[in-house]
Amino acid sequence: MNRHRVHELPTIHFVTGNKAKFREATRIAKEFGLRLSFEDLDLDEPQSDSIEYVARTTALLAFQIIKQPLFVEDAGLFIDSLHGFPGVYSSYVYSSIGVPGLLKLMSGISDRRAMFKSCVALCSSSTLSGPKLFIGEVEGSISKLARGEGGFGFDPVFVPSGISRTFAQLSIMEKNRLSHRSRAVRALCSFVLKNRRIVE
């Protein structure tokens, strides 16, 4: 029996407008006996070339509204041959040119190495001097064609190292075993179990 019963710990609010992200994170939190609450707030995302800065600042803005333990997550796809682009601007680039546009940018480029990076920022009344950050990274490459129907964002073109399928071709369970987001969220959950006062 898991000695960390769900009712022994408070609910942590996950501030995101992306329900697919929430579903992935919820499955991971459940492994640790933690419960998440979906919170979609209309926040102005800070402009920065650092996902750590964006996550940290957004968490502080969200806490001013919710005033309860919460975390936010910011992620980016960093492509070597494009000097790290789209990086922190991944969400905007996806909404403006999408997967086809990214593949067009990569047309004729042989070096297709890339990295997905996630930053989770935990904020509570105990962390107002500075949200606690958790980083998750996974290396891989950009495929030449979009493949798969699952996931979201640039998942159809990102192939993690060691396998031949894109993130979009994996089940949530498979993706959660190796994705950047799962690594960051797992680090968060481990920290919360060891530091319960942070979220109480």
3 state SS of 138: strand
Is residue 42 part of the annotated active site? The answer reads: no
Q: Is the peptide bond before 69 cis (omega within 30 degrees of 0)?
A: no
Return the structure tokens found at 165. Answer: 């399928």
Tokens of 132: 């606690």
In angstroms, the CA 196 to CA 192 distance is: 5
Cα atoms found within 13 Å of the Cα of residue 157, Cβ hemisphere only:
24
Retrieve residue 152's tokens: 């979201």
Return the bridge partners of 160, or none. Answer: 140
- Cβ–Cβ < 8 Å for 185, 68: no
Candidates 40, 42, 49, 74; catalytic one: 74
H helical segments located in the chain = 19-31, 51-66, 90-105, 172-178, 180-194
Under 8 Å between Cβ of 105 and 120: no
Active site residues: 74
